[in-house]
């Protein structure tokens, strides 16, 4: 079964007949969720055609069928985009090759340097840290020894394999599920990218928790997220994550804000003051 079939099966398994307006009449069901023929009926396609899709034998799936499957499976916007990417892997692979910029554009570096009161980092789609300002490093990277320009990390790898990063996130379970769901979307967008597959393979081998979440096939857009942190220097921080898209398709700016007048604002200002005592306003790049 290919990735499309696995995704369809996982989404089908989470729907109960009652959720889809189907009666089960008290019979014992051998499979969780909807049966193939039940989902096919809801989507308006033949059971044999849908079975071929789950078996990885479908080709040139139309927009109409994908839309109907999305409605029947009650997919959200991110899940629908993931379904389309999986159904058309050749189109995704034929797109522009992923080329992570070796150096950030000067304008972006200036912007990040001026955002000295806001933690901000530049990430690749697979969450490689391409750059972060001193405050972002103080929040997320200060637990690592050495200057901040040594060994700029992959945030997903840190979340699963670095004990200090795991301890930093008070809502680690929610964060972990979120980053895995995002990585699944990235893997579908770039099916021929060996770096994505290498990261998934590494984390699956090193972390059983990652492996379990990966097999869940959940997908999500992580543009907005609430990070609840236990910072070793300033205590609890609630940071609201927002992704800012740039003209570079393989580059994301991620900014972290706080509620005005909140304890988190005071804690972030304190951390900024502590950071300013030992760092200049430079942007660290790989």
| C-alpha 80 chain-centroid distance | 15
- Could you tell me the pLDDT band of residue 147, with boundaries at 50, 70 and 90? very low
| Comparison of pLDDT for 118 and 33, the residue scoring more | 118
Q: Band of the pLDDT at 95, cuts 50, 70, 90?
A: very low
Predicted confidence band of residue 54 (pLDDT cuts 50, 70, 90): confident
| Cβ atoms 69, 7 nearer than 8 A | no
Architecture of domain 106-285: 2-Layer Sandwich (3.30)
Q: What is the pLDDT of residue 146?
A: 42
Cα separation, 152 vs 158, in Å, equals 11
More confident residue, 180 or 90: 180
Pick the range with the lowest mean pLDDT from 146-155, 170-179, 191-200, 276-285.
276-285
Report pLDDT digits (tens) over 148-184.
Answer: 444 568 999 999 999 999 999 999 999 999 999 999 9
Band of pLDDT at residue 193, cut at 50, 70 and 90: confident
For 117-142, letters b (16+ CB in 10 Å) and e give ebbbbbbbbbbbbbbbbbbbbbbbbb
Nearest to 133 by CA among 154, 155, 117: 117
- Write the class of the CATH domain 3-87: mainly alpha
**Range of 60-69, 84-93, 146-155, 174-183 with top mean pLDDT:** 174-183
Buried b (16+ CB within 10 A) or exposed e, 20-35: bebeeeeeeeeeebbe
Q: Whose structure tokens read 């059983």?
A: 208
Q: Is the pLDDT of residue 17 over 80?
A: no
The yes-or-no verdict on residue 230 having pLDDT over 90 is yes
Do the domains at 3-87 and 106-285 have one common CATH topology?
no
* Residue 12: both structure tokens together: 């089908």
The confidence band for 214, taking pLDDT boundaries of 50, 70 and 90, is very high
Please state, as a whole number, how many other Cβ atoms lie within 10 Å of the Cβ of residue 248.
16
pLDDT at residue 124, rounded to an integer: 86
Domain ranges of the chain: 3-87, 106-285
At which residue do the structure tokens 């996130």 appear? 169
Q: What is the per-residue pLDDT for 108?
A: 82
């Amino acid at each position: 079964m290919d990735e499309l079939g696995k995704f369809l099966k996982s989404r089908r398994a989470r729907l109960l007949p009652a959720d889809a307006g189907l009666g089960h009449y008290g019979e014992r069901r051998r499979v969780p969720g909807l049966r193939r023929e039940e989902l096919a009926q809801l989507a308006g396609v033949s059971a044999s055609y849908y079975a071929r899709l789950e078996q990885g034998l479908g080709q040139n799936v139309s927009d109409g069928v994908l839309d109907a499957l999305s409605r029947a499976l009650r997919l959200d916007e991110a899940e629908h985009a993931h379904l389309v990417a999986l159904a058309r892997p050749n189109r995704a692979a034929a797109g522009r090759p992923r080329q992570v910029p070796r150096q950030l554009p000067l304008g972006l570096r200036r912007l990040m340097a001026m955002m000295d009161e806001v933690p901000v980092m530049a990430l690749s789609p697979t969450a490689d840290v391409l750059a972060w300002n001193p405050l972002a490093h103080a929040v997320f990277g200060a637990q690592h020894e050495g200057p901040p320009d040594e060994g700029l990390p992959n945030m997903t790898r840190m979340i699963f394999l670095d004990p200090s990063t795991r301890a930093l996130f008070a809502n680690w379970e929610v964060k972990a599920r979120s980053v895995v769901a995002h990585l699944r979307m990235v893997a579908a967008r770039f099916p021929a990218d060996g770096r994505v597959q290498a990261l998934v393979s590494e984390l699956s081998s090193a972390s059983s928790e990652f492996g379990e979440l990966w097999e869940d096939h959940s997908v999500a857009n992580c543009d907005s997220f609430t990070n609840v942190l236990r910072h070793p220097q300033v205590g609890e921080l609630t940071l609201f994550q927002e992704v800012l898209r740039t003209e570079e398709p393989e580059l994301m700016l991620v900014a972290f804000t706080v509620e005005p007048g909140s304890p988190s604002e005071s804690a972030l200002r304190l951390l900024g003051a502590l950071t300013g005592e030992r760092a200049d306003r430079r942007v660290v790049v790989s």
